[in-house]
Structure 1
Amino acid sequence: MRSYYRPIPQSDPGRPDGALTLAGGWTWFDRAERITREGREIVAAKDIPSEVLERLTEPRAPIAGLGFDAPRLMGILNVTPDSFSDGGKFIAPEAALAQAQAMAEAADLIDVGGESTRPGALPVAPEDEIARTAPVIAAIRSRIDVPISIDTRKAAVAQAAIGAGARLVNDVAGFTYDPALAPYCAEAGLPVCVMHAQGDPQTMQDAPHYEDVLLDVYDFLEARIEALEALGIPRAHIIVDPGIGFGKTQAHNLALLARLGLFHALGCAVLLGASRKKFIGTIGGTPEASDRMPGSVAVALAGIAQGVQIIRAHDVPETRAAMRLWGAATTGAA
């Protein structure tokens, strides 16, 4: 029976002697939860196998020029007519550029997407996705000095985006949709973000089921990392995303959020993309996606408390302000 080790991250200033820094970041741990498919128990950090402990403690390498000694903020820029939260608002190039300029004041990275992945969304032809994203990326690069990622499942779209100035490929399909995408990223030496999703946007919310959502998602991401490494993409260039809301019920989302620290054992930077998702509206009593900023910020801070390196957010200035206050309140220094 395989054992998985979830560090129990702490940010308390009363750090005991012998505590270990998690992934070179802002949290520490001296205990872990040993998880199997049959049960869980708490163990001391010294009882974690050495190869797992090394991945938990090794500082994460910079990606797209961003270090991970502090949490980073990825702003969402949807240039689509039908995204669940802000579809149509930024599809015009001038509107997209204005939004990027506003986000750049607080975001470390801007994620540009031209295909909605909301539940029930239909695929977009590559040429249409390129027409939506590449000109916007080029315009942003000409005016704003901030790294850009392309949110796509398609090699042709990624290639056009990289040509326009993007520096990272973020695939919600975990590099399982287009067989040409991962080899292109490897050949081009690009960092990538690999996300877990059960099913595709059209079907993913049709009664999703897992034996153990936490371990099933971990196993999927581990397998995808190994596949990407086999193609020549170093683990240090891979970001992992457990895919909150993608083929998951509210109970699945909450189970993942409660134990996000497990994904640090993959040895990659971890991204949390929960912004404005349906479960936030359900729990927070905000049926309209545009009203979910407070709930989204609360979930983001819960992720940061578990050492998550990247927060993907719609409400960039508000999330940045909350991150600054969380850091100041936690460390006792502004």
Structure 2
Amino acid sequence: MSAREQIEALKGRMGQSIIGQEAVIDRLLIGLLANGNLLVEGLPGLAKTRAIKALARNLEADFSRIQFTPDLLPADVTGTEVYHQGANGAEFRFEAGPIFANIVLADEINRAPAKVQSALLEAMEERQVTVAGKTHRMPPLFMVMATQNPVEQEGTYALPEAQMDRFLMHVLITYPPIEDEVEVIRLVRGEEQAAVAAANNAGDGAAQQAAPAVIPQQAVFEARQEIAALHVSDAIDQYIAALVYATRTPEAYSEDLARWIEVGGSPRASLALDKCSSAHAWMAGRDYVDPQDVQAVAPDVFRHRLALSFEAQGEGISPDDVTAEILKLVALG
């Protein structure tokens, strides 16, 4: 199968276990194809962890989950040097932490203090970890997917701006419609029935249904090569830069934007728009990027990069509202 067919197969398998969250599945795959890290936010019980596990389960990848808690230490994430006494003498050996995996789930990342969160910065940006003066490289396929809940803020620590900017996208998961929730009930019920049946048949030597082969990592690398070869016109480059520039000079576009935006996006926002829009175009089956691709991913790219004023927060204005206004005011070309 081609890289596109294998990624489509991966998307289909994820859709079988995640009902009503097609947009979230698309964003997870865009993050994977764009070689970036994702921040996934939603209320408890909205399948944040399940979606990320579904991606890791169907992909040839080592999966690691870190449950962030207030008592977590940086070494619990990165690993540490451990003293070993052997027949040939004593030595310090590096014991790798859970960050050394292909797909890392940082669950409830805002429950750990800043020192632990900062331990992720080097891994997320430089794809390496330095411990005791030695640098250890991450695997070629490496992705951090962090989750956080927008409620129960007691005992949590807000992510620093420097770390937020290192997330390629900030993905929101919302409640599913009632029709999808019915399907969720039936899906989980069926999974539980299958698990009970499998447990009952385990001692009988009954033939177990073989699980389908996982999607190889090479499919992701080939897809990335194809995405890098997509045609991006000068007009699209100018459009991306203009959108980000509008977040820094809002007074040039409207009084409302000037009142709402305190701090705009960094150059990482431009790079993220470029990468995500290219991945979005490739997943749509096109060999070029058009303005609709940029507009589709702009809310996820800007959501965590726009610092809004107290006035905007008081008026109930969200980053998505600001992004929608920017998309309306900034013309293509």
Q: TM-score, normalised by structure 1?
A: 0.27
* Higher relative helix content: 2
Q: TM-score, normalised by structure 2?
A: 0.27
